[in-house]
Structure 1
Amino acid sequence: MFRPRFLSAAGALLLTASLALTACGSDGSGDEGADAKTLTLWHYEGPNSAMGVAWNKAIDLFKASHPGVEVKFEEKSFEQIQQNAGMILNSDSAPDILEYNKGNATAGLLSKQGLLTDLTEEATSRGWDKKLSASLQTTAKYDEDGIMGSGKFYGVPNYGEYVMVYYNKDLFKKYNIAVPTTYAEFTAAMDTFVKNKVTPLSVGGAEYPAQQIFYELALSKGDRAFVDDYQLYKNKVDFHGPQLTYGAQTFADWVNKGYIAKNSAGIKAEDMGVAFEQGKFPILYSGSWWYGRFNDEIKNFDWGTFLFPGNTLHPGSSGNLWVVPEKSKAKKLAYDFIDITMQPEVQNLLGNNGGVPVAADPAAITDPKNKELIDNFNKVSAADGLAFYPDWPAPGYYDVMVSGVQGLINGSKTPAAFLDEVAKPYNENLADLGK
């Protein structure tokens, strides 16, 4: 957090006068924007995704319970918010509430910079803390260095997420491939596709998906101590140790074996998902955030999911956070909106549209596929298997990871060079934190 400088007596008087004037205004400080008549809200969920459906319902419920208040909703892309949040939230153009990525390099960094509102009092008084398990609260709380897991609430997640394998049941049946239950069976399945001139994996190397494959492979050789060292800085991480070396080398091997197409280095996540929907690839490895959309849009083949075979640790966490910028002009309205997203009506809707709610009534989830999605998340979460994401540990690490894994895909980087590349900013961040 920013620390105040000592003031002279005259400076203190000027600051007191300034604060008094500010409290009379409508900038959201002092009275928390109690008289505000507009709520400006940003998120990046597609309208037919589970979260998009649920948040649109929350907006309708908010409008009904706040007559006379206008909701200005602006849909942004994940990349727009990821790359520009710090600049925007430090300006007068900041929204009143927005969906933001969780982790040390994102929400943690903004909390450390003083750009996010401390939500601890609201989380306690409104009971949000009671609805979030300890593992889900990990990404909601940050200490004064912006490290997740302890400290104050700076965001509120109201869904969970995890990464899994989506597969085209029709293509598996066509080539007589059973659903793999071990890593060996998984690679054997991909070998069968390659022998039949079918590239197994739909991959988006230009954005987040490819790095999550690398991380899942590293996790196959890791344990909770490895995750705590990498994500929470409990101990120094050896980037040429067995976990990350295995992840990088095996990812490169997958490219060489034809499991991952070399042209996927330039493919974005959206195009990756659409290609799977079109039946061009039998397998897509990505997050639960695709589930509701696939359920809605895939009409020409049957599909299913399974957890990455053999692993007990998987990329995953709470969902993204609702955060309230420090410069929000309508903080009370923002708190009210978060409260609505935690209500059973919205949580049950989320669960019935392919999301992973944190406070739904299990009996209200009626679709068998959705029940399976939620059950698998609960299974991973109960086994302490949520390992967060590879780009979380350092500011700017997302772009470093994207570039690094692209190099593995197109062959411009060896696994050792990739690991050196991603180690540098990680260790520089540790040095900045004095660790």
Structure 2
Amino acid sequence: MIDTTRTVSRRTALAASFAGAAALALSACERGTLTKPAPADTLSLFNDNPSWTPGYHAAGTELRRLGGYRLAPQAVPNVSNYQQIVRMSAQTDSTADLVKWWNGYRLRDVARAGILADVTGAWDEAKSRGWCDDPALRETFTADGRQYGVPLYKSYYAVFYSKPVFARLGVGVPTTWQEFLHVVDTAHARHITPISSGGATSWESSIWFQQLVNGLDHQFYLDLAAGKRSYTDAECRQAMGVWSDLYRRGAFSSPDASVSDLPGRFAQGTTAMCLHGTWNTGAFLTAGIKNADLGAFLLPPPPGGTSSVVVESGVLAVSAKAHKRQGALDTARTWFDPAVQRAWTGFLRDTSADPSVVPDVGAVREVAAQVRTQRPAQAIRYWEASPPVLIEGNVQDLSAFMIDPTAARAARTLASMQRRAEKEWKAWKS
């Protein structure tokens, strides 16, 4: 990952050092360079996920019908390269009209550099039309009181489970922590991996950390992410203790497990569950898991915890120097329209920022129904919840813990995370 929390002069130095790589990647885009405007009815969309191209085209069909513009997605699949290129091209004539990004502190980082346009009006219109009135989500798109992007999706971190495996084990969807532990123990006793959980070398090491801290104490999680509490506080120690206990029970797969292998493991009946964002639903279905065989539920909190859920939302942003700035701004407003959202989420098979738009996918509908009835407190995903350099360093510490999930390692992990927090919060505020 790149360093995204330093000063403008640091960014300038990074831009110079990566200029050659950026030029090479831009020249490889499916529609050539971005130095010229797209055709009259087209907006260029820079993103990091080539597999989403059909979804962007589907959404673009509705956008063109409603507002006159379709989308021409251009993808750079390497995330690190993508971030570098967006930053370097943003102040030049090589920028795209629209950019896919991340919310929270990652959005604030680029917004304060002047890379993105203000789209506050899009949120105001969506609220007035009843399409999206979600103050907590809106705050994660905010820098200095203004919004700099609209939500591509709104994913919940839920437990995917294999319905055939649950039936074979004779267990139901757990509604308490003790019932969840019963599922874990039953699967382990039958030589089925209870939970597939990777992260030894990736951001996914933060998934169970965020889940347990937020589940044990939602307000503490928010304060921790905001730099108001310490990683060595009792709440974090308790969360790491619960995580260690799950390892002791044999709950998890090897930490080098890959999320791309999950559909195969579900199909083979060798694993029962996986905690992940609902944006991953499509990967299961595309790989051949039947809709009727895939379920999902919100993980019950550990004893003494609170009803809460971690939320992730991608960002559709307008480049400050977009070739078709007004068209891009109008498209950001139209993106909230339910017709566009139905086309987009129908492809993505995930939930929308508009709670009335839910794709016809069983697992996603199950999660949406739980959110609607339980109304859990919602927290931004850890990856976007604090300054990027802090998160990226802490993710490495959490990966090391997953390889050696002992109490001693947990204590060292939290101490290291806190030292980094003190340093990086000071750098962020300077």
Shorter-normalised TM range: 0.7 to 0.9
Asked if structure 1 preserves the Cα contact closer than 8 Å seen for 2:59 and 2:343, the reply is no
Aligned residue in 1 for 2:179: 185
Report the RMSD for the aligned CA atoms in angstroms.
Answer: 3.5
* 8 Å Cα contact 1:82-1:101 kept in structure 2: no
Q: Decide which of 23, 40, 46 is 2:44's aligned counterpart.
A: 40
Deviation at 1:332, TM superposition (A): 2.0
- Give the direction of change, closer, same or farther, for the CA distance of 1:372–1:126 in structure 2 (3 Å limit): closer
Q: 2:424 aligns with which of 413, 429, 433?
A: 429
Residue by residue over 1:8-50, the C-alpha shift from the partner in whole angstroms, topping out at 9 and shown as x without a partner, is xxxxxxxxxxxxxxxxxxxx9xxxx8996652212345747xx
Q: How does 1:245-324 map to 2 (within 5 A)?
A: 245-262=237-254, 264-265=255-256, 267-272=257-262, 275-276=265-266, 279-299=269-289, 302-310=293-301, 311-317=306-312, 319-324=313-318
Matched-pair identity in %: 20
Please say which structure displays the higher CA radius of gyration: 1
1:209 to 173, 196, 204: 204
Q: How far apart are residue 285 of structure 1 and its match?
A: 0.5
Q: Deviations over 1:148-173 (max 9, x none)?
A: xxx00111115321100111111122
| Aligned-partner residue type, residue 278 of structure 2 | S
Structure 2: distance between partners of 1:128 and 1:34: 32
| Code of the aligned partner of 2:99 | L
Structure 2, gaps ≥5 residues long = 1-6, 9-33
Are the structure 2 counterparts of residues 157 and 299 from structure 1 closer, same or farther at C-alpha, using a change threshold of 3 Å?
closer
Please name the residue that 1:107 is paired with: 107
Give the superposition deviation at 1:99. 1.6
Q: SS at 2:161's partner residue?
A: strand
Q: 1:293 to 1:99 in 2, by over 3 A?
A: same
179, 189, 196: which one aligns with 1:195: 189
- In the alignment, the residues of structure 1 paired with residue 261 and residue 230 of structure 2 have an alpha-carbon distance, to the nearest angstrom, of 34
Aligned to 2:61: 60
Q: Is the 1:40–1:71 contact (alpha carbons within 8 Å) kept by the matching residues of 2?
A: yes
- Per the alignment, do residues 125 and 343 of structure 1 end up closer, same or farther by CA in structure 2, a change over 3 Å counting? closer
Aligned residue pairs total 386
Distance 1:255 1:327, change over 3 A: farther
Query: CA offset at residue 138 of structure 1?
Result: 1.5
Cα distance in structure 2, aligned partners of 1:293 and 1:185: 28
Look up the SS of the partner of 1:258 in the other structure.
coil
Structure 1: stretches of 5+ with no match in the other structure: 4-27, 144-150
Q: Which amino acid aligns with 1:304?
A: G
Look up the match of 1:139.
Answer: 140
What is the DSSP-based 3-state SS (H/G/I as helix, E as strand, rest coil) of the residue aligned with 2:413? helix
Provide the C-alpha distance between the structure 2 equivalents of 1:275 and 1:368, rounded to a whole number of angstroms: 19
2:138 aligned partner, one-letter code = Q
Separation in 1, partners of 2:198, 2:89: 27
Matches within 5 A, 1:319-398: 319-350=313-344, 352=346, 354-359=349-354, 361=356, 370-379=364-373, 382-383=375-376, 385-391=377-383, 392-398=385-391
Matched, 1:154 2:158: no
Residues 208, 269 of structure 1: 8 Å contact kept: no
How far apart in 2 are the matches of 1:372 and 1:70?
32
